[in-house]
Amino acid sequence: MNLLAEIGLRAVEIMTLVFGMMGMTLSLLLLFAPRVAQSLGDVLNRSVDVDKKLRLLDKDIPTDNVIYGHPLLVGGCLVAGSLFALFFFFYNFNASVFAGLFFGSHHHALPGEIIFQAVGWIGKLGCLFGLLTGTGLMLAPRRVRAIDQKMNTRYETRGWIEKLQRPTHSLDAVLFRYPILSGLLGGSISSVLIVLSILNLLR
């Protein structure tokens, strides 16, 4: 198997073991010391102001003056870059080679080849779109600007942010209302995860 795939699988196995041990610890606390688990949950509960965190994303980036102020330069760069990438995707891009490089040369190569075939088609479509846009900027920049203004739409995200900011205690209520049942269920799942991760690590 390829080295990158082996490293990725090892990382997933280690993370599974870590999460399984954390789940087992919480399950044991729920079974034998539910008050300690509840106090620990109160300590770990945090409130994050999502509005402040996402304020940087809620800014206009003025690119119209650069793009439509120099349509020949920007259009020429788009056309040149799209032609170069299109030449690569049609003549030098081999999905089988990339799949063998990232997924190995055995049974993992087939899904990898399908993924890279999809990447290749998406890249070709993107290059064709860039080629058309660059040509339009050089030949008819006003028409391209009119199409751009028609496609410019604003999405109201305030409702999503308000939903993210609402505190919810439903999970805590279920866990601490039925600590024995939650502890047994969590312990069973954690045991399976721990056993599977250890068996995979010892292979």
**Residues 56-72: pLDDT tens digits?**
666 666 777 778 888 89
How much is the mean pLDDT over the chain? 80
The count of domains in the chain is 2
Which pLDDT value is given to residue 129?
Answer: 94
- Residues 127 and 75 occupy one common structural domain: yes
Q: What is the pTM of this model?
A: 0.52
Which pLDDT value is given to residue 155?
Answer: 67
- Residues 160 and 196 occupy one common structural domain: no
- Residues 37 and 83 occupy one common structural domain: no
Q: Residue 113: inside a domain, yes or no?
A: yes
Q: How far apart are CA 39 and CA 68, in angstroms?
A: 59
Regions of the chain with pLDDT less than 50: 1
- Residues 64 and 106 occupy one common structural domain: yes
- Residues 58 and 155 occupy one common structural domain: yes
- Residues 60 and 153 occupy one common structural domain: yes
**Residues 102-116: pLDDT tens digits?**
766 655 566 777 888
- Residues 90 and 1 occupy one common structural domain: no
- In which domain, by residue range, is 124 found? 52-166
Closest by Cα among 160, 159, 165 to 47: 165
Q: Residue 57: inside a domain, yes or no?
A: yes
- Residues 63 and 86 occupy one common structural domain: yes
